[in-house]
């Protein structure tokens, strides 16, 4: 197999930009030979490494290639791929996993509430269901005793949510208020997703509307909770639009390294909160308010400096409201939260106890300087302790060399080499995405080189989250250069992550990616 000697695919991405396309929704680009035949398609007996991390947006595409009973769209029979994933995307998938999960996080907030007979309900939109369920519960999908989950369906009448920045927040708010008025529920945990979801789209007016919508609905639920003597904790999982501009003025639609607000709203009194906390301190705070002993495994520290009277704790009900993506930034430049009208959050910050929590980098188990995200944000809020992320584990494995001895990688790579079949690397190309790193791809390419693989193909997904405009072409060019230097590999597919990384059963999107990978459907680019 000849390696990439010219930067054909990176130029094709730049040509797509000129046609008005952008990274997130880039239509599939497929490399062909001189006769127009697509190169590097998935074929019977080939080997695949899907190197993305996080996992919730990777399940659907993985299922289409590995589940015998898959019926969401027509698939090619008897592909019989050797399929390996970087981490475990979901239990039960017929794949090898290079970095299996550590043991389930025990003694989470939800688990301790269940053990003490407290009834809890979790409410959000389907867009954030996995975060409030699986991640909040320590990467555990089980519904606990006394736990109820209400996930409002995500709207299907819009392509992107800048068309409807309010999303389904009215239904979420109505449901929260219903539970506030139902005294059976001791703890209500809710997420407003708008700021995060809309903030990933380059539409300033829509982002402003999303911020103002969340502020208004926060006011509605806080008012009802106060009337019912419910204690309210208002916080966020990470920042997004409070730093919406790079220093040069370009739009940054990704997450941020900002701290997030924590506001304790108590009708009877104003408690004192300590500073310099982090997301893992929220669970201990909830337990202190409820008079429930904190387990030794939960190493976070309550944010409340005062003693909580035991009598009030036994009767207290709590609303934990997560404003997804609402970061704190004193600088107004490029700060769309400051630019929006937020009278509710402004008023709460003046009247009640306020603190700032670290929600990025080491505070949430990520490398120093790394931005936060919804996965680790909800994981740390629920777990009440620091948990090292998959990214850190993989980076450490690359540094100490164990990455290149990983049994799951070697199994699939040797299967390709020994049977003279193709090896495919599939995943996000980014330095900043919470779903993966191009450095992991480069390490895999080095491993394939070491193991003598002759036929290696790279299938790249692009996205703007946390990236500068038109950064996708730069990444593809970096991969093409790496292929040239290693003398192995070729970029043969490029597609926007919108079509590949779905979690809402938009199977038409996944089918587009599937057909690109298997049949070579897309815009053909001659090598």
What is the C-alpha to C-alpha distance for residues 72 and 510, in angstroms, rounded to an integer?
A: 10
Confidence of residue 248 (pLDDT cuts 50, 70, 90): confident
Of 336, 363, 386, the residue that ends a domain is 386
The edge-to-edge listing of strands for the beta sheet with 29-32 is 96-99, 82-87, 47-50, 423-428, 456-462, 490-496, 29-32, 523-526
What is the C-alpha to C-alpha distance for residues 24 and 382, in angstroms, rounded to an integer?
A: 30
Q: What is the pLDDT of residue 75?
A: 96
Same domain (yes/no): 301, 179: yes
pLDDT in tens, 209-221: 999 999 999 999 9
Q: What is the pLDDT of residue 6?
A: 74
Q: Establish if 3 belongs to a structural domain.
A: no
Q: In this structure, what CATH number is given to the domain that contains residue 405?
A: 3.40.1450.10
Q: What is the pLDDT of residue 3?
A: 61
pLDDT in tens, 155-193: 889 888 899 999 999 999 999 999 999 999 999 999 999
Would residue 125 be called left, alpha or beta, if left means φ above 0 and alpha means ψ between -120 and 50 degrees? beta
What value does the mean pLDDT take over residues 424-446? 92
Same domain (yes/no): 310, 328: yes
pLDDT in tens, 311-323: 566 689 999 999 9
Confidence of residue 392 (pLDDT cuts 50, 70, 90): confident
Of 386, 419, 443, the residue that ends a domain is 386
In this predicted structure, the answer to whether residue 269 has a pLDDT above a threshold of 80 is no
What is the C-alpha to C-alpha distance for residues 175 and 151, in angstroms, rounded to an integer?
A: 10
pLDDT in tens, 504-514: 899 999 999 99
Q: What is the pLDDT of residue 313?
A: 66
Q: In this structure, what CATH number is given to the domain that contains residue 205?
A: 3.40.720.10
Residue 271 corresponds to which tokens in the numbers above? Answer: 């408690």
Strands 96-99 and 82-87: parallel
Same domain (yes/no): 73, 172: no
Same domain (yes/no): 421, 359: no
What is the C-alpha to C-alpha distance for residues 287 and 270, in angstroms, rounded to an integer?
A: 18
Q: Establish if 245 belongs to a structural domain.
A: yes
Same domain (yes/no): 377, 501: no
Host H or E run for residue 524? strand 523-526
End-to-end distance of the chain based on CA atoms, in angstroms? 13
Same domain (yes/no): 95, 196: no
In this predicted structure, the answer to whether residue 276 has a pLDDT above a threshold of 80 is yes
Residue with tokens 């390696």: 3
What is the C-alpha to C-alpha distance for residues 359 and 327, in angstroms, rounded to an integer?
A: 9
Q: Establish if 276 belongs to a structural domain.
A: yes
Q: Establish if 1 belongs to a structural domain.
A: no
Q: What is the pLDDT of residue 156?
A: 86
Taking the model in full, what pTM does it have?
0.72
In this predicted structure, the answer to whether residue 5 has a pLDDT above a threshold of 80 is no
Same domain (yes/no): 96, 115: no
CB atoms within 10 A of CB 35: 6
Same domain (yes/no): 270, 126: yes
Q: Establish if 70 belongs to a structural domain.
A: yes
Same domain (yes/no): 462, 364: no
DSSP 494: E
Query: What range defines the domain where residue 42 resides?
Result: 8-100+392-526
Same domain (yes/no): 382, 431: no
Of 365, 386, 407, the residue that ends a domain is 386
What is the C-alpha to C-alpha distance for residues 32 and 38, in angstroms, rounded to an integer?
A: 4
Biggest alpha carbon–alpha carbon distance for the chain: 80
Q: Establish if 514 belongs to a structural domain.
A: yes
**In angstroms, what is the C-alpha Rg of the chain?**
24
DSSP 153: P
Q: Indicate the average pLDDT of the chain.
A: 94
Q: Establish if 2 belongs to a structural domain.
A: no
pLDDT in tens, 381-391: 999 999 988 88
Q: What is the pLDDT of residue 306?
A: 80
Q: Flag the least confident range among 189-198, 214-223, 329-338, 388-397.
A: 388-397
Same domain (yes/no): 408, 298: no
Same domain (yes/no): 92, 121: no
What is the C-alpha to C-alpha distance for residues 16 and 512, in angstroms, rounded to an integer?
A: 17
8 A C-beta contact, residue 425 and residue 458: yes
What is the C-alpha to C-alpha distance for residues 464 and 421, in angstroms, rounded to an integer?
A: 33
pLDDT in tens, 336-357: 999 999 999 999 999 999 999 9
pLDDT in tens, 47-105: 999 999 988 899 999 999 999 899 999 999 889 999 999 999 988 999 999 999 876 78
pLDDT in tens, 112-148: 999 999 999 999 999 999 999 999 999 888 999 999 9
Number of structural domains (the chain) is 2
């Amino acid at each position: 197999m000849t390696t990439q000697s010219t930067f054909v695919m990176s130029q094709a991405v730049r040509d797509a930009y000129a046609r008005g396309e952008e990274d997130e929704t880039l239509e599939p680009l497929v490399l062909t030979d001189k006769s127009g035949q697509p190169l590097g398609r998935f074929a019977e007996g080939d080997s695949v490494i899907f190197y993305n991390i996080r996992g919730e947006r990777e399940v659907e595409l993985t299922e289409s290639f590995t589940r015998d009973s898959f019926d969401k769209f027509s698939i090619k029979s008897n592909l019989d791929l050797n399929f390996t994933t970087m981490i475990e995307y979901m239990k039960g998938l017929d794949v090898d996993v290079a970095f299996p999960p550590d043991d389930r996080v025990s003694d989470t907030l939800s688990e301790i509430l269940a053990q003490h007979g407290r009834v809890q309900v979790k409410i959000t939109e389907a867009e954030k269901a996995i975060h409030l369920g699986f991640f909040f519960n320590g990467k555990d999908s089980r519904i606990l005793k006394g736990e109820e989950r209400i996930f409002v369906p995500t709207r299907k009448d819009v392509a992107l949510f800048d068309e409807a920045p309010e999303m389904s927040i009215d239904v979420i708010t109505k449901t929260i208020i219903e539970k506030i008025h139902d005294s059976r529920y001791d703890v209500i945990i809710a997420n407003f997703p708008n700021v995060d979801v809309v903030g990933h789209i380059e539409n300033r007016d829509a982002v402003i509307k999303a911020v103002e919508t969340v502020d208004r609905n926060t006011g509605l639920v806080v008012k009802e909770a106060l009337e019912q003597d419910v204690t309210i904790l208002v916080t966020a999982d990470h920042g997004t639009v409070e730093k919406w501009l790079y220093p040069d003025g370009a739009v940054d639609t990704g997450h941020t390294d900002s701290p997030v607000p924590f506001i304790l709203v108590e009708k009877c009194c104003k408690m004192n909160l300590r500073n310099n906390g982090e997301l893992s301190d929220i669970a201990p705070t909830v337990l202190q308010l409820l008079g429930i002993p904190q387990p030794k495994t939960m190493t976070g520290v309550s944010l409340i400096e005062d003693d909580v009277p035991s009598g009030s704790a036994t009767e207290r009900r709590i609303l934990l409201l997560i404003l997804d993506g609402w970061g704190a930034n004193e600088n107004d430049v490029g700060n769309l939260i400051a630019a929006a009208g937020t009278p509710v959050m402004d008023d709460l910050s003046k009247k009640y106890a306020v603190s700032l929590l670290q929600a990025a980098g080491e505070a949430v188990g990520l490398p120093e300087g790394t931005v936060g995200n919804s996965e680790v944000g909800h994981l740390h809020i629920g777990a009440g302790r620091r948990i090292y992320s998959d990214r850190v584990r993989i980076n450490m494995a690359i540094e100490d060399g164990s990455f290149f001895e990983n049994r799951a990688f070697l199994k699939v790579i040797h299967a390709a080499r020994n049977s003279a079949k193709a090896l495919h690397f599939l995943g996000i190309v980014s330095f900043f995405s919470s779903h993966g790193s191009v450095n992991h791809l480069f390490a895999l390419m080095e491993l394939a080189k070491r193991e003598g693989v002759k036929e290696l193909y790279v299938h790249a997904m692009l996205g703007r989250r946390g990236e500068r405009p038109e950064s996708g072409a730069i990444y593809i060019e970096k991969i093409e250069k790496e292929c040239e230097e290693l003398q192995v590999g070729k970029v043969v597919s490029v597609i926007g992550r919108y079509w590949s990384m779905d979690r809402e059963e938009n199977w038409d999107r996944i089918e587009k990616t599937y057909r690109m990978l298997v049949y070579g459907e897309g815009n053909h680019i001659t090598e």
